[in-house]
Structure 1
């Protein structure tokens, strides 16, 4: 067990401390526009393994990735196209996770498949953090199948002593169901329904 440091979201050290821990291969937890997430450097295989261990999460369940800007997306995927550009321009940041073909930089510990799920969250602090740290492998800050962590107490109850730093941002909205859409084929496929419908995606995906 390790000592989990807690900083307020308003602490000037919140982002610098988070960045330092990520660079050192550690784990941080922070609020998002849904629930609290636990995260690590997306390119660090040992850190990714540490998330699975901290959560007790089966390794066959791939970890999603959060990004802070569109440039970071290019670091992760193969062959971005106009359809992807139109969809992300319309719905990011927001409750939409896109399944895309990963590039060779992504460790197999993150996803043994040829794809990854990527989202840009709609919360100013989280976006600022991600722009400082780079893309983060991020999943819910709870034990596997544990209750959704909507505040810092929920995170400490489940992951206290298993993560290096917790950023306390109060209570999050608690919503978990972003739409998950697969863009790897010719047709868009909805893998998990959510606030953004297939019709919404198709309406902006068509090349006029």
Structure 2
């Protein structure tokens, strides 16, 4: 039986955070409020928990979930390297609605699905989610909805779709704007061996951070817009 906690009530917040931490440690799923939309979360380093997340959403391993982190410093531990333009983007937009895809740190033991050696990372904004991430470490998080349905903008929306597949729901009102994060691919900025990096940054999904905002930070490194039929990203 799932539990729902109102994070606007301090006593429920404390109990909810405790139950959420315990659920994550058991490999169960939780639903959390973020600055974009509600997310369904699992321990990023538990393959069983990640598979449970994919099953709950009705999606395959070919759609691996992004990873949310609680501090900018954690990025360097999860990826192979952090190119200077990415450092600028992190400084400008984290915490916030920008998810960055980079080559994953090869030494990490995890299984997020068919990632092709990459990981999509974001530092969200919001007291509840950041406090939780500080205690749990990185979480695999996807929008709290069934694949093909609208993203949940409240815990009740998420509960109607995901039901008892989720152990704990943390409710914190309606999502601020209900717009998912922008996803960018920065893998081509990473230097491989002696070869210099020659690529740019590609938008995989339009979202909370606009193309104009990205251009202000990295200029011509942002590649031209894709044809809509070619775009990819999380539902």
Asked if these proteins are the same fold (TM beyond 0.5), I'd say yes
- What's 1:6 paired with? 4
The answer (yes or no) to whether the contact 2:45–2:111 under 8 Å persists in 1 is no
Match of 2:175 in 1: 172
Post-superposition offset of 1:202: 4.6
Q: 1:106, CA displacement in angstroms?
A: 5.2
Which 10-residue stretch deviates more, 187-196 or 89-98? 187-196
1:102 aligns with 2:104: yes
Give the Cα–Cα distance (whole angstroms) in 2 for the partners of residues 126 and 33 of structure 1. Answer: 9
Q: Please say which of residues 174-183 and 35-44 is displaced more in the overlay.
A: 174-183
The yes-or-no answer on 1:204 pairing with 2:202 is: no
Give the TM-score normalised by structure 1.
0.89
Q: Is the 2:45–2:109 contact (alpha carbons within 8 Å) kept by the matching residues of 1?
A: yes
SS in structure 1 of the partner of residue 173 of structure 2:
coil
Structure 2: stretches of 5+ with no match in the other structure: 189-198, 220-235
Counterpart residue number, 2:27: 25
Q: Tell me whether 1:193 sits opposite 2:206 in the alignment.
A: yes
TM-score (norm 2): 0.80
How far does residue 174 in structure 1 lie from its aligned partner after superposition? 4.5
Structure whose alpha-carbon radius of gyration is higher: 2
Tell me if 1:136 matches 2:139. yes
Question: C-alpha separation between the residues in 1 aligned to 2:202 and 2:68?
Answer: 20
**Deviation digits for residues 49-97 of structure 1 (CA, Å, limit 9, x no counterpart):** 0001111112211111111102221231111232222210111111111
Aligned-residue offset at 1:47: 0.2
Kept after mapping to 2: 8 A contact 1:37/1:139? yes
Distance 1:148 1:195, change over 3 A: closer
* 1-structure distance, mates of 2:151, 2:213: 28
CA distance in structure 2 between the aligned counterparts of 1:194 and 1:6, rounded to whole angstroms: 28
By relative contact order (CA 8 Å, sep 6+), the higher-ranking structure is: 1
Offset at 1:132? 1.2
RMSD (Å), alpha carbons = 1.9
Alignment correspondent of 1:60: 62
